[in-house]
Structure 1
Amino acid sequence: MHLRAAKEILHMEAWLHRAEEIVARGPDAYHCDDILQEAGDSLMIKLGESANRLARLGVVAPPGVDWALAIANRNFVVHQYDQINRSMTWATLATDLPRWRVALAPLIAAAAAEIRRSPP
């Protein structure tokens, strides 16, 4: 695995963990808190940008993960921010991203091993 790809994957892992922290607060807290909503948007933007970088590096998304969909979601949140549906963003955070974390587990492990092997 290319070192740049490994770093992107580990960034994704950290952002997926942050998404879990938002979800742990529950849907009521999310829907009532503009800051949590903005944080979720930020994570989806970062994940989409990272997916774009990984796709350009030739990293194949595992089953259950769709780089193109993440990129499209990023673009929507960035450019159509006035049309965001909070029920849909909650579903992404609470349902889709936990599945991503499971599906990406082998890539995350490979990325961590690549980082360990790389010279400082």
Structure 2
Amino acid sequence: MDRTRRWLTDLAANLDQSAELVDRGREAFDADPAVRLAFEALGNRVGDLCNRLIAADPSRFSDPIWRQAARNRDFLVHHYDRVDEQALWVTVSVSFPELRERLETYR
């Protein structure tokens, strides 16, 4: 398996994990700090994989959603002390499913 396919497979797995956490509901996200930290970790992984894909094939991964995920990762990593919980919830519950849906056209 080439690295791009491996990264796409890893990205799908991480997006699927995030969907499982979202299925626990907003109440679980608000009540359990471990869920919020998991969302941050998944944001880091998803963004890192998007960065790799963009670097490997910029023309194939030119849709703005790839850069948005990569920028989100940079913010989470470098400004973790300023993460807005509402924005984090929206990223994982809305943007990640959109990315997951688009991912199928790249596999």
Please, what TM-score do these two structures have when normalized by structure 1?
0.82
Name segments (4+ residues, structure 1) moved above 3 Å.
Answer: none
Q: Larger RCO: Structure 1 or Structure 2 (Cα < 8 Å, ≥ 6 residues apart)?
A: 1
**Structure 1 counterpart of 2:57, one-letter code:** G
**1:27-106 correspondence runs (5 A):** 27-58=26-57, 60-61=60-61, 66-106=65-105
Query: Does the aligned pair in 1 maintain the 2:65–2:99 contact within 8 Å?
Result: no
Write out per-residue CA displacement over residues 43-80 of structure 1, whole angstroms, 9 at most, x where no aligned residue: 110011101110111152375x5222111111110110
How much is the aligned-residue C-alpha RMSD, in angstroms? 1.6
Give the distance between the partners of 1:76 and 1:62, measured in 2 at CA.
20
**Does the Cα contact within 8 Å between 1:62 and 1:104 map onto a contact in 2?**
no
* Structure with larger Rg: 1
Residue 62 of structure 1 contacts residue 103 of structure 1 at CA under 8 Å; is this kept in 2? Answer: no
Q: Which runs of 5+ in 2 are unaligned?
A: none
Aligned residues: 106
Structure 1 runs not aligned, ≥5 long: 109-120
Describe the superposition over 1:81-113 as per-residue Cα deviations: whole angstroms up to 9, x where unpaired: 1100011110011111111111111223xxxxx
1:16-27 aligned within 5 A: 16-27=15-26
Contact 2:48–2:70 at 8 Å: present in 1 too? yes
